[in-house]
Amino acid sequence: MASGSYRNGAPKLSSKLDRPPSAVYSTPKPAAKSRQPPTPASGLRRSNSGSNAAKDDAGVPGRVRVAVRLRPRNAEEMEADADFADCVEVLPELKRLKLRKNNWDSETYEFDEVLTEFASQKRVYEVVAKPVVESVLEGYNGTVMAYGQTGTGKTFTLGRLGEEDTAARGIMVRAMEDILAGISHDADSVSVSYMQLYMETIQDLLVPANDNIAIVEDPKTGDVSVPGATIVEIRDQRSFVELLRLGEAHRFAANTKLNTESSRSHAILMVHVRRSSKGRNDRETFPTENGNASPLVTSFRPPIVRKSKLVVVDLAGSERIDKSGSEGHTLEEAKSINLSLSALGKCINALAENSAHVPFRDSKLTRLLRDSFGGTARTSLVVTIGPSPRHRGETASTIMFGQRAMKVENMVKLKEEFDYKSLSRRLEIELDKLIAENERQQKDFENDVEKIRAEAQNRLAEAEKKYMVALENEKAKYQKDYMESVKKLEEQFIANKQIISSDKIGAENHAMNMEKKCSEEGLAAITSDEINEIKQLLQNEILLRQSTEDEVNNLKSQLTHWKKLEAAGNAEIIKLRKMLENEANQKEKLEEEIAVLKSQLLQMSFEADETRRSLDRGGSGKVFTGLDSFVSQARYSQLRDSGNGQKASIAKLFEQVGLQKILSLLESEDADVRVHAVKVVANLAAEEANQDKIVEAGGLTSLMMLLRSSEDETIRRVAAGAIANLAMNETNQELIMIQGGISLLSMTAADAEDPQTLRMVAGAIANLCGNDKLQSRLRGEGGIRALLGMVRCGHPDVLAQVARGIANFAKCESRASTHGNKVGKSLLIDDGALPWIVKNANNEASPIRRHIELALCHLAQHEVNAKDMIGEGALWELVRISRDCSREDIRTLAHRTLTSSPTFQTELRRLRIEY
Ligand SMILES: Nc1ncnc2c1ncn2[C@@H]1O[C@H](COP(=O)(O)OP(=O)(O)OP(=O)(O)O)[C@@H](O)[C@H]1O
């Protein structure tokens, strides 16, 4: 054996004898112990800190193992090469192979295993594939690949099904047999996909229509997968063989001149082995910080799952194109096959030489085999050669490929990770169990509680029963004792009586004493307990009484306090009331003074007008100098004496000038004189004492004439006022009527515009309305219409007089109706007064409102008016008056009227008004 330096664990041979060191072709055994491939247990121990158990594991070196297998001469070679020796000589015991250059020169190569043409399929499997299969079962990826010239036995080595001759079974079949035997069918699973790579296209050999499968590389882990390929789970060997047969049937095979059964595609079988840690020692797998794991913690730790993959690759033939005889399509095919094979060769060269760049991406084959060469898989390569000297070149090429592959060092890694899905399932089952257990315990607990409760109730009922019996017994006993005591006392009493009867003198006292004594004794015997009880009750009563007395005292003191406060409050109220009264008096006085001052101001303005006009006329008023000066004098007197001053001055004038003289001045040519005179007369007429004198002296007639004839508004106003004053007297009222006063007043009412004139006229008519005797005449002469006509002015003073007149008229009319002097409905209603009455029944001016309210009440007293009143809406006003009027007498009158009138009652019921 030539000496050589070792690189990546593989020997570097001299050029002449370029051979690797003899290697044990079994489970890889690196030189240093630390480089031993990890056992499952050691691998798991390292991986307990991460979710992907083997992810961070750099792995251990594992060189690609290469065996060479020599095919026996086939029939053709037997014949064609009959005169020639084989181009190779195998030395299996030395694991060497000699490639003859010529008869005298040869080259020797050393492989991990050299398999002669007599090597059985079993032997080939055991040295080439079995170690890899074992590693796969332990959780490592593995690759078994056959490389060689077409027809040298690659498919024979890998893919023989051996159905007729089981000894002929190839590596694929045997590997699956070992895998199925090595796994737990309960916990583990095996699945396969089978595909071919042809013309840089991956086709599914199980579902051929699936002919463009993509290669997917995990950017993080570098793992390569073909998720598009069909994956079939394998339960038994038979189904696997069926799949292989199906795949083979689909595998494209083109006839070539070299071998009619030659495979033009690369066949790739992927076997996925998934093994869980179920049934293994989890305590060992998951140590805690202190090395001890509780059973609970252990049971909730995620189990380990190992997902390894065995890739078996049956490469297409590696012959050169020029020798294949391929042309046309097959030439392209051959180029494509050699493209991927040459790419594989380049990668292996780069890996063997430790180049920085390995061109894996140059072909799909190298992309697929990335993990097998220079990756994490354990890889075993079998190179197949034929003996024919005619193919020496290809054989040499194949040998050199194998030699270079031997230099490729992989970093074998355990493919394991935490199985969270499995843990989740396990936890769910555990949870279900716990819930069921909890429910069971809860039920047991509730049953226990119910049992205890029932027992307690029974005991309680029993105790109560016993208590009642004992109580009854005690009661009976005491009753019996009591009766016996009474009986004894009675007996004693009778005995004493007998003694008394035998000893009459003093015996009575003695007997009484005895009786009393016995009674006391008996009583004491019977009621000593009761006395104690009564004493206790008495004590309680005393305490209760004391506390009640305290409470009463407390309340009394509070009452006294509040009474004091109330007294103080009352004194304050009285004081305030007094102040209020003073204020009211003060206000009244002031209002009186204001009224006087207003009247004086009016008088003074008249006088000022007169004086100015006199001066303008230049002494034409001389005749009345005395009167004027007197008026003037009276004015100053008024200013001096407020209140009665005016009356006093007029009275003086009356005395000094004489009534006749004054009345004559009413007919004076001079209008001013007439004005002064009528004012004086009006003032005199305001005094009831003067009224008769004025009428007797013809003053009324003069005033009426003046009213009729004068066009002076002041004269008309003052004259009307004077007439109104005189009309306060009943006798005068008749005189006024006789002299056609109503017509005159009605005419004035119709003509006048001045509100004060109208007020005076309305006042005069209103006074006349209050005369029972004048009712029909007044109405006949248009007095009511005149009144109603004056409301056009709207002045509240005028309206108040109109209202007063109507009220007066209604009152008289009512009286007449009551006395039977009048039949039929009210003349006021006939003259159309009702709408105005209703409209002003709630006038905001109280003098108007009050008179109207009275008028309504008078009208309503007579059933004959009721219908019209209802029609005009007077009923509502009557109801309002009966409820809201501030004057009690009017309120009562309205109420009485409403309740006594059948018509009103019917209407109220119809309107559903509660009355
Ligand atoms: N070791 C062997 N013992 C007996 N016969 C063999 C052996 N190796 C191969 N043969 C026979 O050689 C012939 C070709 O073998 P095989 O088809 O396996 O070659 P191959 O390398 O797969 O060819 P290709 O690359 O064209 O697929 C087959 O008839 C096979 O039975």
Helix-, strand-, coil-residue percentages of the chain, each rounded to 5:
60, 10, 25
Nearest CA to ligand 1 atom 2: 71
Nearest CA to ligand 1 atom 25: 150
Query: What pLDDT does 186 receive?
Result: 87
Sorted by sequence, the CB contacts under 8 Å of residue 397 that are 6+ apart come out as: 318
CA of 262 to the centre of ligand 1 (A): 9
Which ligand 1 atom is at minimum distance from the Cα of 148?
21
Distance from C-alpha of 59 to C-alpha of 46, rounded to nearest angstrom? 11
CA of 490 to the centre of ligand 1 (A): 143
Q: Are 350 and 359 in contact (CB under 8 A)?
A: yes
Sign of the CA dihedral running 259, 261, 267, 270: negative
Distance from C-alpha of 367 to C-alpha of 359, rounded to nearest angstrom? 9
Nearest CA to ligand 1 atom 26: 262
As beta bridge partners, residue 67 has 113, 382
Which ligand 1 atom is at minimum distance from the Cα of 318?
25
Distance from CA of residue 605 to its chain's centroid?
A: 83
Q: Determine if the pTM surpasses 0.95.
A: no
Q: Is 643 within any annotated ligand binding site?
A: no
Q: Is 398 within any annotated ligand binding site?
A: no
Distance from C-alpha of 57 to C-alpha of 47, rounded to nearest angstrom? 8
The b/e string for 535-551 (b: 16+ C-beta within 10 A; e otherwise) is eeeeeeeeeeeeeeeee
Q: Are 813 and 826 in contact (CB under 8 A)?
A: yes
Distance from C-alpha of 26 to C-alpha of 438, rounded to nearest angstrom? 55
Query: What pLDDT does 364 receive?
Result: 93
**pLDDT by 10-residue block (mean), the chain, 915 residues:** 30 33 35 35 33 51 94 86 81 93 86 96 97 95 95 94 92 97 92 92 92 90 90 96 92 46 81 78 43 53 86 86 48 67 92 91 93 92 94 92 94 81 78 89 90 89 87 84 83 80 60 56 58 82 83 84 84 86 83 68 62 54 38 40 50 66 84 85 86 89 90 90 90 91 92 91 94 91 94 93 94 90 90 94 90 93 93 92 88 90 91 78
Which ligand 1 atom is at minimum distance from the Cα of 150?
25
Nearest CA to ligand 1 atom 8: 153
CA of 148 to the centre of ligand 1 (A): 10
Please give the domain boundaries of the chain with CATH numbers for all domains. 47-418 (3.40.850.10)
Q: Is 906 within any annotated ligand binding site?
A: no
**What residues line ligand 1, using a CB cutoff of 6 Å?**
71-72, 74, 148, 150-156, 259, 261-263, 316-317, 384
Per DSSP, the residues of 831-888 read: TT-HHHHHHTTT-SSHHHHHHHHHHHHHHHTSHHHHHHHHHHTHHHHHHHHHHH-S-H
Query: What pLDDT does 565 receive?
Result: 84
Q: Is 148 within any annotated ligand binding site?
A: yes
Nearest CA to ligand 1 atom 11: 153
Distance from C-alpha of 767 to C-alpha of 279, rounded to nearest angstrom? 132
The CB density around residue 566, as the number of other CB atoms within 10 Å, is 10
Q: Is 658 within any annotated ligand binding site?
A: no
- ipTM value for the complex: 0.98
Q: Are 147 and 139 in contact (CB under 8 A)?
A: no
- Alpha-carbon distance values, 556 to 543, 548, 560, 562 (Å): 20, 12, 6, 10
Which ligand 1 atom is at minimum distance from the Cα of 152?
21
Distance from C-alpha of 94 to C-alpha of 488, rounded to nearest angstrom? 141
Q: Which amino acid is at 477?
A: K
Q: Is 487 within any annotated ligand binding site?
A: no
